[in-house]
């Protein structure tokens, strides 16, 4: 049996590597679009499959399959010949100690929680990933108990239903040893999908709130190369006063961004007209009201930093930082820490007057334009394009269009995540189908007897499909609970340690219905072919022993 597992693993390893290579070609195309949208244009590189990666993939398949075969092989070796020949297996099939497993699952859940509370480590949240792994194992261990409770809980309902529902319920409870791992695998795939959806929706909600609060200018202007490449191109000097003199414009905020070295790491330094920003827009600060914090930063000539930078270098409001300038080190205090989701390395913001004074930089990259009341942004945008767009190669975009661009990039970024989760669901589907096929093979005589005493083929199909339905329901119940806690780890531990962003938790109510339909649909689809197989069992062969 161990050698059989090794052969299966070798075959699966080879097939997995080649299928992975085909999937990688598609993944690279998606990621190249994301990188182009976020950073610089990059054509997809030709796909390569290094020998080391090939060997590693096959080796993983062999090791996982072989180790998975050890316990079943050990059980097969312990099987008593007389009982096997008589078809009597004693308490082995249903005698699983679910209480002990439930207790162990609870202990692992507590350990997972303790790990999640460890101090976050910048760059790699090993404690978060370990906590997530233990959480999945913990919920897998409580699955047998949930199956038993579910089976007992629906007894009253199945008594009122037809025989197919009662037969499926009875077998679900009797075959916990076999159904448990299948439901656990299905639960894990569903939980990971649910947790990622919650994380993405929380991220989306946070980004939308951040955009609505911080990007309040009606029109943004920048060089055409600004959004598509790492360009040093700036706006013409006459642009700012020219826009300010337009009768439809209320205020203009010139924005200059440059990369500096801070503690031997590259960070973004931004200089802008903080006075204009305080009156017309805002930052989301950890502490304090936006206008008051910004005004204090102007008066005290302090710098504002993003949450990512604060977490990256363990800084807080009131700390002093030293920045390198052409004139030498410039020391200033941190006037506030704001939430920002536009950079992954951190950002420092100061009044543009300080930037001019210490860096001798009067250029601007972006101009934020605030219009007077009742002015139409699209009409003003057309005027700006006619006057400066073609002449200087500038782009002017309205707030609505700019927000849409951001959300399009956001959706593009997470597209690959959804694809990977669907792959996990397909694997879970195959696991359910495999379990039901095995169950049918073991119950050939039982199914034959059902047919002999009057059960029709549709009734046999119905029994198997109802059993698949039960697996889907249980997998959804446990998967939804596990996915909820897993999403908390993703949002507040792994994501924060990896990127330094604090996200608002958002649980989309529709995910309950969507995940239920997905779970039931997947389970019934997985049970369809085993059900057909059960109905096609030859009656004479099935009961010949009897």
Rounded to whole angstroms, the Cα distance separating 213 from 207 reads 10
- The rounded distance, in Å, linking the Cα atoms of 154 and 204 is 39
Task: Give the integer Cα–Cα distance in Å for 403 and 400.
Answer: 5
What pLDDT score was predicted for residue 94?
Answer: 42
Phi, psi (deg, nearest 5) at residue 250: -90, -45
Which DSSP category does 342 fall into? S
In order of 128, 220, 233, the CA distances from 353 in angstroms are 43, 21, 21
DSSP label at 493? Answer: I
Beta strands in 472-511 (DSSP E): none
- Chunked in runs of 10, what are the mean pLDDT values of the chain (546 residues)? 90 88 78 65 69 88 89 83 60 64 94 85 73 95 93 84 82 82 89 91 92 89 72 82 92 91 90 92 92 93 93 91 91 94 86 92 91 91 88 88 86 77 79 82 79 83 89 94 95 84 91 91 89 80 65
- Token pair belonging to 284: 């989301």
- Residue 252: per-residue pLDDT: 93
CA-CA distance, 197 to 491, in Å (whole number)? 11
Strand, helix or coil for residue 303: strand
For 79, counting Cβ atoms within 10 Å of its Cβ (0-12 exposed, 13-18 middle, 19+ buried), the class is: exposed
Tokens of 39: 């950073």
Question: What's the CA angle centered on 386, arms 381 and 389, to 5 degrees?
Answer: 80
pLDDT, position 83 = 64
DSSP SS3 for 159 = helix
DSSP state of 123: S
Residue 234 near residue 313, CB atoms below 8 Å? no
Give the pLDDT of residue 34: 66
Can you say whether the dihedral through the CA atoms of 342, 343, 344, 346 is positive or negative? negative
Nearest Cα to 347, choosing from 455, 268, 251, 234? 268
Distance CA 257, CA 259 (A): 7
pLDDT value of residue 329: 92
Residues 6+ apart with CB under 8 A from 165: 157, 158, 466
Bridge partner list, 262: 265
């Amino acid at each position: 049996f161990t050698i059989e597992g090794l052969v299966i693993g070798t075959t699966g390893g080879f097939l997995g590597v080649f299928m992975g290579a085909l999937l990688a070609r598609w993944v690279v195309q998606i990621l190249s679009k994301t990188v182009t949208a976020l950073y610089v244009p990059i054509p997809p590189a030709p796909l390569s499959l290094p020998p080391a990666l090939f060997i590693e993939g096959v080796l993983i398949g062999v090791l996982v399959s072989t180790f998975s075969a050890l316990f079943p092989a050990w059980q097969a070796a312990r099987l008593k010949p007389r009982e096997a020949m008589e078809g009597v297996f004693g308490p082995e099939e249903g005698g699983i100690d679910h209480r002990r497993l439930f207790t162990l699952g609870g202990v692992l859940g507590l350990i997972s929680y303790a790990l999640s509370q460890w101090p976050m480590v910048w760059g790699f949240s090993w404690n978060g990933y370990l906590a997530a792994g233990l959480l999945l194992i913990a919920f897998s261990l409580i699955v047998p108990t949930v199956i038993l409770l579910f089976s007992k809980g629906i007894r009253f309902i199945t008594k009122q239903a037809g025989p197919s529902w009662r037969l499926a319920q009875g077998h679900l409870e009797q075959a916990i040893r076999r159904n448990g791992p299948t439901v656990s695998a299905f639960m894990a795939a569903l939980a990971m999908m649910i947790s990622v959806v919650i994380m993405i929706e929380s991220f989306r909600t946070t980004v939308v709130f951040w955009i609505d609060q911080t990007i309040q200018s009606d029109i943004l202007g920048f060089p055409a190369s600004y959004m598509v490449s790492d360009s040093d191109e700036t706006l013409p000097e006459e642009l700012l006063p020219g826009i300010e003199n337009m009768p439809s414009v209320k205020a203009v905020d010139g924005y200059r961004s440059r990369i500096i070295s801070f503690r031997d790491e590259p960070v973004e330094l931004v200089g802008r007209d903080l006075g204009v920003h305080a009156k017309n827009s805002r930052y989301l600060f950890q502490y304090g009201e936006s206008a008051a914090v910004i005004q204090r930063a102007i008066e005290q000539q302090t710098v504002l930093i993003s949450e990512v930078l604060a977490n990256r270098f363990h800084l807080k409001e009131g700390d002093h930082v030293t920045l390198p300038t052409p004139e030498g080190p410039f020391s200033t205090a941190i006037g506030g820490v704001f939430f920002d989701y536009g950079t992954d390395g951190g950002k420092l913001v100061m009044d543009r007057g300080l930037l001019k004074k210490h860096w001798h930089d009067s250029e601007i990259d972006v101009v934020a334009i605030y219009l007077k009341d009742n002015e139409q942004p699209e009409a003003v945008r057309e005027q700006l394009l006619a006057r400066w767009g073609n002449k200087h190669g500038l782009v002017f975009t309205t707030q609505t269009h700019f927000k849409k661009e951001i959300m399009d990039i956001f959706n593009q970024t997470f597209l690959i995540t959804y694809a990977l989760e669907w792959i996990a669901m397909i694997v879970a589907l195959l696991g359910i189908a495999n379990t039901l096929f095995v169950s049918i093979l073991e119950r050939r005589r039982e199914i034959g007897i059902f047919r002999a005493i009057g059960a029709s083929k549709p009734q046999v199909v119905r029994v198997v499909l109802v059993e698949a339905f039960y697996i889907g329901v249980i997998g959804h119940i446990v998967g939804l609970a596990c996915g909820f806690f897993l999403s908390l780890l993703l949002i507040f531990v792994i994501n924060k340690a990896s990127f330094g962003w604090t996200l608002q938790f958002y649980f989309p109510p529709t995910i309950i219905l969507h995940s239920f339909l997905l779970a039931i649909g997947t389970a019934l689809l997985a049970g369809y072919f085993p059900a057909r197989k059960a109905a096609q069992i030859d009656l004479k062969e099935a009961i010949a022993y009897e």
